[in-house]
Amino acid sequence: MYLFTLLGNLLIMATVWSERSLHTPMYLFLCALSTSEILFTVAVTPRMLVDMLSTHRTITWTACASQMFFSFMFGFTHSFLLMIMGYDRYVAICHPLRYNVLMSNRGCARLVSWFWVGGSVMGIMLTLIVFHLTFCGSNVIHHFACHVLSLLKLACGKETSSVTLGVILVCVSALMGCLFLIVLSYVFIVAAILRIPSAEGRHKTFSTCVSHLTVVIVHYGFASIIYLKPKGPHSMDSNTLMATTYTVFTPFLSPIIFSLRNKELKNAIKKSFQRKFSPLSS
């Protein structure tokens, strides 16, 4: 799954860069999303695989902090990119005549840069807050990686409960803020689609949103279960399982969803393969 995640996202990036017809804001955002998924996976999964195959499962303080920082950074960037992709679909469907003005390539590249900066700032801030705490007692992290909630359970002192609450509030606020704007975009999109007179026109317009909407549901579905699920007697084990599934499974699914559900991208991938492997027939 790890190798497929890398190859699938690299294939999407290579196809977008090689096909001039895909040099549009929507596919610029898709390239940035694939980059964030590759880096998020690289930050966590190799270490997890090594630990699963090893009997000596230890991690240094610095490596743990680095892993947490990159997880936060790429996770927040991922959410910001999904949000702007929803806005892109809103402008394309609700304001098609103003699309080139509102979504210029230069402006979109600037937005992507700001999202990477925003993700980095959030990652640094949360990692510094967590690692500023005092850790005492057990040094065993009940997780496959340096996951923030599992690490906070090892902290002690008066600040621990307020820091834990603060970290959860920041994560939930960022996720829910992005989700709210995505839902708002789709409310306007659905309203615009319902005004299209023909069923074929409605279907064709909505099909341009299906891949993005599916990835949003998968991404936010897993994230909501991790951060919003009520705590029970076996919550630590189930949270560990869900967080690991979210780390490995969502980046694995994204390239499949975008390649199969996005007709334009699927045709571009086919064309690229035909050019590479069937030069005579083409």
SS3 24: coil
Give the model confidence (pLDDT) of 202-223 as tens digits: 888 888 888 888 888 888 887 7
Beta bridge partners of 191: none
Q: What is the CATH number of domain 1-266?
A: 1.20.1070.10
Buried b (16+ CB within 10 A) or exposed e, 231-263: eeeeeeeebbebbbebbbebbbbbbebbbebbe
Distance of CA 255 to the CA centre of its chain: 12
Q: Where are the beta strands (DSSP E) in 98-137?
A: 134-135
Closest listed residue to residue 24, CA positions, set 265, 204, 202, 267: 265
Specify whether the CB–CB gap between 128 and 150 falls below 8 A: no
Give the model confidence (pLDDT) of 79-114 as tens digits: 999 999 999 999 999 988 888 888 888 888 899 999
Specify whether the CB–CB gap between 139 and 113 falls below 8 A: no
Average pLDDT, the chain: 84
Closest listed residue to residue 40, CA positions, set 181, 243, 266, 261: 243
- pLDDT-derived band at 184, boundaries 50, 70, 90: very high
